[in-house]
Structure 1
Amino acid sequence: MAERFRHVAIVGKHQAPGIRPVLEEIAQFLCASGLDVSLEADTALNTGLTGYDALSHEELGRACDLAVVIGGDGTMLGFAREMAPYGIPLLGINQGRLGFITDIPIERWRESLAPVLAGDYEVEPRAMLEGEVWRDGEVIYTGLALNDVVVSRGATAGMVELKIEVGEQFVANMRADGLIVASPTGSTAYALSAGGPILHPSIAGWLLVPIAPHTLSNRPIVLPDLGEVRLEIVAGRDASVNFDMQSLASLLHGDTITVRRSQHQVRFLHPQGWSYYATLRRKLRWYL
């Protein structure tokens, strides 16, 4: 039986021009539907919306049972990562450009949101990545990602050389501009731009995608999402690692990045009839 909701969090891309009237209209709609509404604190502060509780991410996670995210995929990525430990389902209304995970068009929010509130929706779980950066036997950084973990060369330096291990097995030493470890969700992000394949979100796997490799035989690999991927910095100056939008710069030789499947998932809600293939067709313009 579909979950019915009581308390909805609203988060918006507050830098977007003209977003305040949209946020206010959605908040009023939710209130008129008999729901409690709270705003994410930065959204409230930067739009000047009043009349609703402005809560931190932790407070939203503890109080709310649904989050409506208005913006682009970047807005959703950041908020989804914050909400993952609380298991709150997310519904994305797209006011950005591509919108693979904020997939409801802004002009259709009302007709899409109403049936979801009535309990008529589909739930789509998405796997997440987590990992650490190790230096001299100690963890110096931890991160959580919905899209990808990216190791990149320095801005002015040459290629980075990485030692790649999967589980207990050595894979290769690779020289490239970087390497992407992507979830199925991330397969339509940076990994796609770097020449990787698209993975359906239900596939229990991830991608290793080289970025401009020195050797053209270094190709993307699809892996089962079991065990751990280890990337050791062998050579290259000022390399960095990025967990979605969280970065650590100036990695040193010998630093190791470990990546594995997170215990957390993100749950996206979609109106009945939603299709992943229709999203790909629309966003990638697969038209006849």
Structure 2
Amino acid sequence: MKLFTTVGIFSKQDGEAVQSTLETLYDFLVTQGLKVLMSTHAAHLLNSTATADEELAKQIDLAIVVGGDGSLLTAGRLLAAHQVPIVGVNLGRVGFLVDVLPAQMLEQITAILNGDYLEDERCLLKACAWRGEDKLGENIALNDVVLHARNKVRMIEFTTYIDGFFVNTQRADGLVISTPTGSTAYALSSGGPILHTSLEASILVPISPHTLTSRPIVIPNQSLIEIEMGNDRPVEALLSFDGHHDIPLVSGDQIKIIASPKKMRLLHPRHYDYYHILRSKLHWGTQL
């Protein structure tokens, strides 16, 4: 009996390497007797019929993403609610999440189809923004939720509470609230620590804070994070989710962030080594 019967293909938007890889992947999956559905970008590159995202998520039992980490983040936010496992084929630049190389794609996907893989569950964050009693919007993020100034190079002021306890009021360019997955992204470049992806934790990393004593803090991801925009510095701000889906904010608005109840399921080849990924992508040990 097959573990997977219907596969969804997702991809980045363009590139000859993407199209060639998609063609090879599609032909292979069809020869394995699998039903194959495609997202809009993948279908466009293969001159085929696309399936709407929500319908695709409901029908497939395995997703293969051809592209970079950004492509997988987009697919992951869609598929987490449906608990569809994802395999990433790396045609991007960094590749912390997409770890199947095109040259080894058919061999490694064959093994995964036969049940020879490692499964990795990744936490997501859910955030909503409020203006008084009015909800401005909500979304989920696999990497990070980021509060930052809008259109101006100016600091914003905000107050942070964790589980109802006052933490601090600070002025900074913003704040990164990151999952362990996102700890190697914006949070890392802002001075945050790397967290192993198996940890049930979140990181709060201030962006260019206006005090030397402001430091990142790691908390349990089931903690409720509440942020209130200050009134003393009326600078417009944005709340972003993995760099997208911005929610405009003004003084007095409130943000509530907590772990999403659903996790993303990520499948790796059997030889997957998280520390090798870190060494390779961050160039640890490279002689300068």
Tell me the TM-score normalized by structure 2. 0.95
Q: Does 1:42 align with 2:38?
A: no
Q: Residue 264 of structure 2 aligns with which residue?
A: 266
Tell me the TM-score normalized by structure 1. 0.95
SS of the equivalent of 1:119 reads coil
Alignment partner of 2:249 out of 239, 248, 251: 251
List per-residue Cα deviations over 1:11-68 (Å, max 9, x = no partner): 11122343212101101111111211111123213x1432xx5211111111110000
SS of the equivalent of 1:18 reads helix
Quick check: 204-213 or 55-64, which moved more?
Answer: 55-64
Partner amino acid for 1:268?
A: L
Quick one: percent identity of the two aligned structures? Answer: 38
Quick check: 224-233 or 85-94, which moved more?
Answer: 224-233
Q: Does 1:214 align with 2:232?
A: no
Give the 3 Å change call, closer, same or farther, for CA 127–69 of structure 1 in structure 2.
Answer: same
Partner amino acid for 1:15?
A: D
Whether the aligned pair in 2 keeps the contact of 1:229 and 1:260 (CA below 8 Å) is yes
Q: Residue 57 of structure 2 aligns with which residue?
A: 61
List per-residue Cα deviations over 1:175-210 (Å, max 9, x = no partner): 100000000000011001101000001111110000
User: Gapped runs of 5+ residues in structure 2?
Assistant: none
Q: Residue 103 of structure 2 aligns with which residue?
A: 107
Number of equivalences:
284
Distance 2:2 2:79 in 1: 18
Quick check: 125-134 or 245-254, which moved more?
Answer: 245-254
Distance 1:41 1:138 in 2: 34
Partner amino acid for 1:180?
A: V
Q: Does 1:26 align with 2:25?
A: yes
Whether the aligned pair in 2 keeps the contact of 1:175 and 1:214 (CA below 8 Å) is yes
Summarize the alignment of residues 137-148 of structure 1 with structure 2, pairs less than 5 Å apart. Answer: 137-148=133-144
Alignment partner of 2:226 out of 230, 234, 237: 230
Distance 2:234 2:174 in 1: 10
Q: Residue 274 of structure 2 aligns with which residue?
A: 276
Whether the aligned pair in 2 keeps the contact of 1:165 and 1:231 (CA below 8 Å) is yes
Greater strand fraction, Structure 1 or Structure 2: 1
Whether the aligned pair in 1 keeps the contact of 2:22 and 2:46 (CA below 8 Å) is no
Distance 1:104 1:284 in 2: 18
Distance 2:15 2:129 in 1: 34
Whether the aligned pair in 2 keeps the contact of 1:3 and 1:119 (CA below 8 Å) is no
Partner amino acid for 1:221?
A: I
Give the 3 Å change call, closer, same or farther, for CA 37–187 of structure 1 in structure 2.
Answer: same
Q: Residue 199 of structure 1 aligns with which residue?
A: 195
Distance 1:257 1:246 in 2: 16
Q: Residue 11 of structure 1 aligns with which residue?
A: 10
Whether the aligned pair in 2 keeps the contact of 1:44 and 1:54 (CA below 8 Å) is yes
Give the 3 Å change call, closer, same or farther, for CA 226–126 of structure 1 in structure 2.
Answer: same
List per-residue Cα deviations over 1:85-106 (Å, max 9, x = no partner): 1110000011001010111122
Distance 1:7 1:48 in 2: 18
SS of the equivalent of 2:56 reads helix
Q: CA deviation at 1:150?
A: 0.2
Distance 2:56 2:17 in 1: 24
Q: Residue 155 of structure 1 aligns with which residue?
A: 151
Whether the aligned pair in 1 keeps the contact of 2:137 and 2:247 (CA below 8 Å) is no
Partner amino acid for 2:113?
A: L
Q: CA deviation at 1:236?
A: 4.1
Quick check: 246-255 or 18-27, which moved more?
Answer: 246-255
SS of the equivalent of 1:164 reads strand
